[in-house]
Amino acid sequence: MPMRRDRFDLMHGTLLFVCIAGLSVVLLTEWPRPAAAVAQGGERALERELQSQARATLLQRLYGPVEELRQQGKTANALLKLDELERTYPGEAHGLMLKGEILAGMGALEPAAASFAAGVRRNGDYIDEKFPLSRRAAVSRLVADGLPVIIEGTRRNPESRDLGLALKNLRYLQSRLAGGCE
């Protein structure tokens, strides 16, 4: 006597067919080999490293004259050269970081904090010690030296927008130095 098939049998048969078809697709599809995947990952890492080095070399070449002027003590000329480079390469974080260093060296805490903060917001790598163009030490010095001065200034003049903005920038830099993110 033949067996009678009901809905239960049809449902399980269909499910079994779908499982076998899915397993066949997985087994017959050629997935990337682990060695190939590792090789691709290594190539990407090498490519990123080469891009980083090329960028660092280009920035050192572009901003080299600014560094020379700064070392010669011609800070006003260095700032003018930075303004010229800012017009040519708008939004470049390296110029902002150099400007922050020059301004901090001149004792202009508020604009230095603004420049450093803008540079770090554009490229957070400048806080990383391993970055070839790292400015972590300069930012750390500005935060350590400037924060007490700005805090005292805001206590004496709590309505000053400039001091409030400088305090906000210094707190942002302090947070980034501590490992915080945007």
Does residue 93 form part of some domain?
A: yes
Does residue 35 form part of some domain?
A: no
Banded pLDDT at 1 (limits 50, 70, 90):
low
Does residue 9 form part of some domain?
A: no
Does residue 123 form part of some domain?
A: yes
Does residue 5 form part of some domain?
A: no
pTM (predicted TM-score):
0.72
Does residue 19 form part of some domain?
A: no
As given in the structure block, the two tokens for residue 46 are 């090498």
Query: What 8-state DSSP symbol labels residue 4?
Result: P
Looking at the 3D structure of the chain, how many domains does it have?
A: 1
Range of the domain at 149: 50-177
- Residue-wise over 111-133: b if at least 16 C-beta within 10 A, else e? bbbbbbbbbbebbebbbeeeeeb
Does residue 32 form part of some domain?
A: no
Whether the predicted pLDDT of 39 surpasses 80: no
The enclosing domain of 115 has a CATH number of 1.25.40.10
Of residues 132 and 115, more confidence is placed in 115
Mean pLDDT across the chain, nearest whole number?
A: 87
Does residue 89 form part of some domain?
A: yes
